[in-house]
Structure 1
Amino acid sequence: MSATDNSVDYQSVNTRSMSSNGETDGAKTMDLSTAIEETQIAVNLFLNNHFGDARNRFEPWADSSCYHALGYCTMMYIQAAMTFEPRHIDAAVDALKRSVEVCNKQRKKQARLKWNKVDYNTYTDEEVHAELCYAECLLQRALVTFIQDENLVNFVKGGLKIRACYNSYKECRLMLEKRTWSDETSRVQFESGVRFGIGTFNLMISLLPTRILKLLEFVGFSGNRELGLSELEKGRALEETLRSPLCATVLVGYHSVISFAIGMGDGDIPYSNKALKPCLDKYPGGAIFLFFAGRLKEIEGETIDAIYKFEESINSQSEWKQFHHICHWELMWCYAFRLDWLMACRYAEILYKESRWSRATYAYLKASFLCMMPDPTADTILQLQQMFTEIPDLKQKIAGKSIPFEKWAVHKSKFFLDKGNRLTVPGLELIYVWNGFNIVGKDKELIGPMLELIEKTLNTVEKTKAMNSHYGDDFALNMLLKGMCLKFLDRPLQAEVSFREVIECEKQIQSELYLVPFAMTELGVMLMDHDKLDEAKELLLQAKNYKKTRQLQARLHFRIHAAMNTIRYKLKNKGDKQGAAELEISLGSEDLSDQGFAISEEIKTRMQPSIYQ
């Protein structure tokens, strides 16, 4: 089946849309059912990689139809988010402002007090759908605020816009539940949109550390992971709606990307494959769904099949080359997992040259993979010295603060120069830092060669101990990595010994103190997996309260948060309600960084007056 076999007769629908009210191209109105039908065609075009055609279908009606306005600004937002080009960001901001105005004009105008009951039956179908489109436009307007300008005020403004958006979604839910619907098609389309919005909010907010989550709940948000997944699944099940592919995309993205990036790597992969299949059947050449097919293969440990899928996604379209960068990122890791450092370096270089997201990160990735090449020549060492020297100048700031991983890349670059132009297994260290062992661990044929490389490096570290002023750093890093390999080779006792050696050699570590709390965390997670919950909780709390370094702190706390939640669920399942409650209290008392706390306090102060409005 070709990428457009599932398409509709675009010309005939276009003719109907122009004549639906007896008007021509110059018409300024379009009835709701035709607008939804037109938008579905544009969505099909977009998901079949015809991005320009989809945008051209939205644009003529973007100043009059809510759904066309939403579709057009969504495409502009996606382009801005992929490129980070100032001109694309400005164009997206302009489109989003106009879209919010279009939707706002068509919403129900009704002044009311909070305690007054609302008769949602007085709302027309056009008005309730305008409310839904308004909520989605506000969400995108908030998100683009975060990349529009690098100052704290914009972060606060973004938070305020998200609150307004969330309140609008809650209003939509009441409309869905309390309104009597005369048009079933309109109701189903509306329901899928509400479930998409409420589900996405709850799922994303549930990922935040507990103290931030409690603050957000105080000002009106909710963050229930189970509710989020349930709402998105109900929205996905409404297969013939505009937003069912979006629900499927968020669900698969959560299970296959987010849970591995900041959680325990415990996403539901069988479910993800099930949710993705209808999308691949309908859009077999769709770049987005081919990417997710590759990602699912990757996290199942089938890196060769994953590489084929990512390459297929790249080859499926050339209109939005920025989307290729997402596949390049995953291809880089697939080759790194296979210890093919040359190919990993190649894709890091492509990202460094073409992507604007974080050149310091890409430069460090490229240099680290190059460091892994055996028997480097004098020219290679000179090239590495130049690359690591340049990385600090590539660092950028958002809201006056450096990106955490860029700060770490700068630190490691200086460490390279201090150590006489060398780093110890930086490629394997990167795999660990980016949670790659949760993927590599699925295939023992990938883990085995890593363990061999680590053992060989440890032998070299021991032999050169007398002349190595950073022996403690090198030893601790290799022992942490060795522990990870042993864990996934089902050798938990040996893995525990490796993790404890890292903790015990803390005083010998000069620079890489982040290794100590991470070793505590990994040991705690392993004990948790073997139902030694009290020991696991104690180690995780020690890691959380470790104050000797702030390196990679956000990544550490996300991992601890995910592990603590798992322990809490296990305690509840065992009937230990008191233990679960005590753990929740300890989670709620976790510290925030100065930056995070300042932003949270500012948002809380600005939001409080509007809570009862």
Structure 2
Amino acid sequence: MAFVSNGTEADEEGFEDAYENIPVASKMDLRCALEECTMALNLFLNNKFSEALELLRPWAKESIYHALGYSTILVMQSAMTFEPQDVQMGITTMKEALQTCQRFRKRNTVVESLSNLVSKQSGDQLTEEEMHAEICYAECLLQKAALTFVQDENMINFIKGGIKIRTSYQIYKECHQMYSLAASQGKMCSDTHYQFEGGVKLGIGAFNLMLSLLPSRVLRLLEFIGFSGNRELGLSQLREGASGSSIRAILCVLTLLFYHTYISLILGTGEANLEEAEALLEPYLKKFPNGSIILFYAARIDILKGRFEQAQETFQKCIVSQQEWKQIHHLCYWELMWCHSFQQDWLQAYRYADLLSKESKWSKATYVFQKAALLSMLPEDVVKTTGEDIVALFRQVESLKQRIAGKSIPTEKFAVRKSRRYISDNPVKLTLPALEMMYVWNGFTIVGKRADLTENVLVTIEKAEVALQNETKVTEYLADDLCLVQLLKGVCLKHLGRLLQAELCFNQVIQSEKRVKYDHYLIPFTFYELGLLYKEQGDRDKAIRYIETAKGNYKDYSLESRLHFRIHAALSSLKGSPVSTPTTPS
């Protein structure tokens, strides 16, 4: 087997030389390590985060699984806090984990490395520990790459992160080949081989699933350097891993849950497989009834099913279940903010946005914009009771913007652009800003599960429409605001099954294209919505034509990447192979 060179990452991080022999089992053999790490995982899922770390720490520099588990928990913590010192601690710990895994990997001489290019090694030439060291090394490398992207915005880090991801991907592919070969020869009989199999299924599954989500223009570039993604293969590998009994089964479950409850909605068309998500979660709800991560996903599924009241109860249960990781509380606040927004309980939604703006480091600009947007939906006398100044809040947004991996966060850029209306001495109020942000996060797909709430939202939109039509003081933003109202109205009507009326609203936006001055994103998003409407009507060709127009005829607008992800998902469900981009439909 031609393993990826041990040199690149080792040289960069200054790894110690590999042992001539694997450390003696009396210290911590593979089986004992797996047993102890399973105990740590159970502690973690029971909200005993510090205890899990304490169990793993003593052996974190001597055992590959202790190193992987210990560093993974710290990486999760740093990703949730976004505090620079936590991110740095995560990176430092992951470097140490890589060093530990490196010592257990098979060490090739120069001659062996060259011969591997000609004839691949088989798994027979690796000991059990060496096989597991490869899979653990790949997992550590992938996590360190992710942290490298968020740590600093310089291009060197970006390139280093990309190299790590590619190396990790290559190791997973080669481990998969080794596993497949051994399985076909009936050699996967050791009691630790199913743990290796679980690692392979998690890695191959997650890589294929995530790569399959990427828009074709990105994927073409990645395929050129050796990446490719197959969605069905990814899902099947993760499902097999989730149904197994390896230590990584829960990680396969959590990856599938994240895909069904977040990725499918934010970067897709919203067609999530919630039945599978519930089935995956059920045994863990029984085993860890107070586990905050398990409760969080249970509540998220309730939201996606339109069971907002039940979701609110479960999120509150999740919050009180533990006090150690406040970051999980912040995730709950974000979801509760939307829960109340879907029900147009703007004041309660504002309270959660306010909590986030004060406690969470993730995106201050977004949280402050959300606060101002939610308050904008309330009568002035109610706003006064909060002690907030809406104009002052909008004016703060730009100063709070941050950069990740050298780029601005798209939703922050969007919030900054919208807030600029308030910079002048005579600000022009935004129209339905909370509902616009709801649309940006694909929230209408969720509200659409509840006809009663969708009707209520439609009433709010139509009131804004009448107010704009009766506006005596015409501003430079009027055409943009009217188009926004028609887009939101059309989306509501579509979810209520009033497709002809929805089509009229969408066409009104498209016919107003030349009058739009600032919110140019409205046009391609409207073409996309029209495409989904025609898909719902069964007119596949027309659906593809309109979605391809959104894809090919517009660029350099707000939230372009987000729309391209959704377009990719929509076209993937409509057709098997790409077609050429047509001109604008008449």
- C-alpha distance in structure 2 between counterparts of 1:218 and 1:529, whole Å: 35
- C-alpha distance in structure 2 between counterparts of 1:225 and 1:117, whole Å: 28
Equivalent residue in structure 2 for 1:77, among 72, 75, 78: 75
- C-alpha distance in structure 2 between counterparts of 1:459 and 1:56, whole Å: 62
Equivalent residue in structure 2 for 1:133, among 128, 136, 144: 136
Is 1:208 the counterpart of 2:214 in the alignment?
Answer: yes
| Partner residue in 1 for 2:559 | 552
Equivalent residues of 1:47, 1:286 under 8 A apart: yes
Displacement, 1:551? 1.4
- C-alpha distance in structure 1 between counterparts of 2:122 and 2:497, whole Å: 61
Report the CA distance shift for 1:363/1:142 in structure 2 as closer, same or farther (over 3 A).
Answer: same
Give a deviation string over 1:553-611, Cα, whole Å, max 9, x none: 11221221211112114xxxxxxxxxx4x52x659xxxxxxxxxxxxxxxxxxxxxxxx
RMSD after superposition: 2.0
Is 1:534 the counterpart of 2:541 in the alignment?
Answer: yes
Equivalent residue in structure 1 for 2:482, among 475, 479, 500: 475
Is 1:295 the counterpart of 2:300 in the alignment?
Answer: yes
| Partner residue in 2 for 1:190 | 196
- C-alpha distance in structure 1 between counterparts of 2:188 and 2:574, whole Å: 48
Give a deviation string over 1:187-236, Cα, whole Å, max 9, x none: 11111111001000000111111121122122222211110000000001
Segment drifting more, 509-518 vs 411-420 = 411-420
Give a deviation string over 1:455-501, Cα, whole Å, max 9, x none: 11111111115544422122111111110110010110010001101
Equivalent residues of 2:151, 2:405 under 8 A apart: no
| Partner residue in 1 for 2:355 | 350
Equivalent residue in structure 2 for 1:114, among 108, 113, 117: 117
| Partner residue in 2 for 1:103 | 101
| Partner residue in 2 for 1:148 | 151
Equivalent residues of 2:306, 2:449 under 8 A apart: yes
Code of the aligned partner of 1:63: K
Equivalent residues of 2:549, 2:581 under 8 A apart: no
Equivalent residue in structure 1 for 2:50, among 33, 49, 52: 52
| Partner residue in 1 for 2:266 | 261
- C-alpha distance in structure 2 between counterparts of 1:376 and 1:476, whole Å: 29
- C-alpha distance in structure 2 between counterparts of 1:542 and 1:491, whole Å: 24
- Alignment partner of 1:241: what SS? coil
| Partner residue in 2 for 1:19 | none
Segment drifting more, 180-189 vs 529-538 = 180-189
Equivalent residue in structure 2 for 1:326, among 321, 331, 343: 331
Report the CA distance shift for 1:375/1:165 in structure 2 as closer, same or farther (over 3 A).
Answer: same
Extract unaligned runs of 5+ from structure 2.
1-23
Is 1:568 the counterpart of 2:575 in the alignment?
Answer: yes
Report the CA distance shift for 1:48/1:530 in structure 2 as closer, same or farther (over 3 A).
Answer: same
Displacement, 1:327? 1.1
| Partner residue in 1 for 2:6 | none
Code of the aligned partner of 2:35: E
The 5-angstrom pairing of residues 309-320 of structure 1 reads 309-320=314-325
Displacement, 1:417? 4.3
Is 1:68 the counterpart of 2:74 in the alignment?
Answer: no
The 5-angstrom pairing of residues 361-380 of structure 1 reads 361-376=366-381
| Partner residue in 1 for 2:522 | 515
- C-alpha distance in structure 1 between counterparts of 2:383 and 2:336, whole Å: 29
Code of the aligned partner of 1:530: Q
- Alignment partner of 1:29: what SS? helix
Extract unaligned runs of 5+ from structure 1.
1-22, 570-579, 588-613
- C-alpha distance in structure 2 between counterparts of 1:557 and 1:421, whole Å: 30
Displacement, 1:523? 0.5
Displacement, 1:507? 2.6
- C-alpha distance in structure 2 between counterparts of 1:228 and 1:448, whole Å: 38
Code of the aligned partner of 1:354: E
| Partner residue in 2 for 1:90 | 88
- C-alpha distance in structure 1 between counterparts of 2:437 and 2:422, whole Å: 15
- C-alpha distance in structure 1 between counterparts of 2:388 and 2:136, whole Å: 55
- C-alpha distance in structure 1 between counterparts of 2:423 and 2:484, whole Å: 18
| Partner residue in 1 for 2:172 | 169
| Partner residue in 2 for 1:16 | none
Equivalent residues of 1:528, 1:536 under 8 A apart: yes
Give a deviation string over 1:239-269, Cα, whole Å, max 9, x none: x220111111111110111100110101111
- C-alpha distance in structure 1 between counterparts of 2:353 and 2:537, whole Å: 37
- C-alpha distance in structure 1 between counterparts of 2:140 and 2:383, whole Å: 55
Is 1:308 the counterpart of 2:306 in the alignment?
Answer: no
Code of the aligned partner of 2:517: Q
Displacement, 1:513? 2.0
- C-alpha distance in structure 2 between counterparts of 1:412 and 1:513, whole Å: 12
Report the CA distance shift for 1:469/1:88 in structure 2 as closer, same or farther (over 3 A).
Answer: closer
Segment drifting more, 416-425 vs 277-286 = 416-425
Code of the aligned partner of 1:491: R
Displacement, 1:28? 7.8
Code of the aligned partner of 2:397: I
Equivalent residues of 2:395, 2:422 under 8 A apart: no
Displacement, 1:421? 4.6
Is 1:223 the counterpart of 2:229 in the alignment?
Answer: yes
Segment drifting more, 115-124 vs 173-182 = 173-182
- C-alpha distance in structure 2 between counterparts of 1:336 and 1:351, whole Å: 15
- C-alpha distance in structure 2 between counterparts of 1:477 and 1:404, whole Å: 19
Code of the aligned partner of 2:421: F
- C-alpha distance in structure 2 between counterparts of 1:237 and 1:426, whole Å: 44
- C-alpha distance in structure 1 between counterparts of 2:548 and 2:542, whole Å: 10
Equivalent residues of 1:260, 1:435 under 8 A apart: yes
- C-alpha distance in structure 2 between counterparts of 1:208 and 1:35, whole Å: 37
- C-alpha distance in structure 1 between counterparts of 2:188 and 2:231, whole Å: 33
- C-alpha distance in structure 2 between counterparts of 1:488 and 1:520, whole Å: 16
Give a deviation string over 1:145-197, Cα, whole Å, max 9, x none: 01111212211111100111111111211221223647542111111111001
- The two structures have a TM-score, normalised by structure 1, of 0.86
| Partner residue in 1 for 2:427 | 420
Code of the aligned partner of 2:293: I
- Alignment partner of 1:185: what SS? coil
Equivalent residue in structure 2 for 1:383, among 359, 367, 389: 389
- C-alpha distance in structure 2 between counterparts of 1:545 and 1:171, whole Å: 37
Displacement, 1:448? 0.8
Give a deviation string over 1:432-470, Cα, whole Å, max 9, x none: 111001111011111010011111111111111554442
- C-alpha distance in structure 2 between counterparts of 1:514 and 1:414, whole Å: 16
| Partner residue in 1 for 2:414 | 408
Task: Give the fraction of aligned pairs with identical amino acids, expressed as a percent.
Answer: 46
- C-alpha distance in structure 2 between counterparts of 1:549 and 1:129, whole Å: 46
Report the CA distance shift for 1:548/1:272 in structure 2 as closer, same or farther (over 3 A).
Answer: closer
Give a deviation string over 1:278-326, Cα, whole Å, max 9, x none: 1112211111111110010000011111111111111111111112111
Code of the aligned partner of 1:54: A
Segment drifting more, 66-75 vs 170-179 = 170-179
Equivalent residues of 1:202, 1:227 under 8 A apart: yes
Displacement, 1:528? 1.6
- C-alpha distance in structure 1 between counterparts of 2:383 and 2:567, whole Å: 42
Equivalent residues of 2:374, 2:434 under 8 A apart: yes
